Structures are given as C-alpha cells and as structure tokens.
C-alpha cells in the first residue's frame, strides 16, 4: 500500500508564488528559497488532497482568493524573516 497521491495543496501554491516573485532575486539562492517555502508553509494550514483537480472543483472563487491571499502574505513574511536573518523556532 502506498500513499503517493496525497500532498498538501498549499505546497504548489507556495512554490508557484516563490518562483513568480522571488526566484529571480540574486541574493536568494536555492537553499534560501527552500527555507522561505518551509517558513511559509508552516504559517498555513495543511490542506491535504489526493488530486489538485478535486480541490479546484470544490473551492468557491472567494475561498480560492482567500487561499491565494494567505499564500502571498505567508511568502512575504517568510522572505522578510530570511532577509532579516530572524531566527526561527525549531522545537516545541
């Protein structure tokens, strides 16, 4: 038994936002972009799905816009933390 089809729907949204807004910035290398993705995802709720199309079909326009807004805010906040060198809490 495998569970390869399950994933957090926010992952693709966060990565898309990072690629479209931050990936071209020279001071942000691959590792920093991955750190930003992790920090952003930790700010968002988990929305696990088996297929993205299932989520897209059942979201209203308002819900989709709200999710996108939350992603934008989370990525901006995470990028700011990385740029400022703000330490992050890694334990309980």
The residue that leads in pLDDT, 26 or 83, is 83
pLDDT at 92 over 80: no
User: 12-61: per-residue pLDDT in tens?
Assistant: 999 999 999 998 887 889 999 999 999 999 999 999 998 888 787 888 99
- Of the CA atoms within 13 Å of residue 47, those in its CB half-sphere come to 22
Q: Cα–Cα distance between 70 and 12 in angstroms, integer?
A: 13
pLDDT at 4 over 80: yes
Q: Give the per-residue pLDDT at 54.
A: 77
pTM of the shown model: 0.84
Query: Closest by alpha carbon to 72, among 13, 30, 8, 12?
Result: 13
Structure token pair of residue 16 = 């898309």
Domain segments of the chain: what residues? 7-84
């Amino acid at each position: 038994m495998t569970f390869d089809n399950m994933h957090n729907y926010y992952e693709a949204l966060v990565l898309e936002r990072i690629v479209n807004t931050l990936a071209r910035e020279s001071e942000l290398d691959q590792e920093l972009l991955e750190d930003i993705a992790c920090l952003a995802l930790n700010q968002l709720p988990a929305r696990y799905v088996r297929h993205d199309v299932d989520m897209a079909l059942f979201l209203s326009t308002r819900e989709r816009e709200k999710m996108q807004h939350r992603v934008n805010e989370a990525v901006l906040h995470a990028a700011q933390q990385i740029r400022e060198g703000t330490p992050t809490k890694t334990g309980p």
